[in-house]
Structures are given as C-alpha cells and as structure tokens.
A = this chain, B = another copy of it.
C-alpha cells in the first residue's frame, strides 16, 4: 500500500474531515503563540461513508459531502494520520452544522 496514493473511503456514517489551519494572529493583528491550544472547530469534509443503515438495512446517504465547511463539536472524533497529514473521523450525527456564505 505504501507506494500508491492512499485514499480512505470511510464506512457507514463516518465523515473524514481536515480542520482549518490555526489562526496565527487575532483579528486585530496580535500574533498568537504557536502553542496556544485553542481547538479549531471549523473543518472541511474530505470524504464520507455510504451512510448509516436504516431499519431495513438500506444505506441513508450522509447529509454532508466532500468540500462542505462544517462546525465540529468541542469533543469527540478520532484522529488518524494518512501520509503524515492529520485528519479526524466524526459520525455524521455528531457534526453540528454547515457553514454557508
């Protein structure tokens, strides 16, 4: 597997996201310390599973799709590393909302 470009297809209602990069300065320009452990709750959806199963076993498509900008909950999700990049897996139902322009 190591040579090919590894692409993960999540299963079921799992959603693979990448958090936005941390803000390095405040809005008024003050430089934020590198170590500030403010959690970034905004993220981009990278990949989604086929969806959860309903009571008959049919897949129910996820209501978010790759490219969506979403708001993550404060807690939860599991970190995984793919090709040295940091991603997170959340269940669809744990994602709080979508940002729209």
A interface residues (Cβ-Cβ under 8 A, vs B): 1-2, 4-12, 14, 16, 20, 23, 27, 42, 49-58, 60, 63-64, 69, 71, 74, 78, 80, 89, 92-93, 95-101
Please give the distance in Å from A95's CB to the nearest CB on chain B. Answer: 6
Since A2-B27, A10-B96 are in contact, a sample of 11 more A-B pairs with Cβ atoms closer than 8 Å, ordered by chain A residue number, is: A4-B101, A8-B97, A9-B99, A11-B92, A11-B96, A12-B63, A14-B97, A51-B57, A55-B56, A74-B78, A89-B97
| B99 engages A6 (CB within 8 Å) | yes
**Cα–Cα, bound, A7→B74 (Å):** 19
CB contacts (< 8 Å) of A56 on chain B: these are 54-56
For the complex of A and B, the 3 pairs showing the least CB-CB separation, nearest first, are A57-B60, A54-B57, A10-B97
**Cα–Cα, bound, A54→B59 (Å):** 12
| B97 engages A9 (CB within 8 Å) | yes
CB contacts (< 8 Å) of A4 on chain B: these are 101
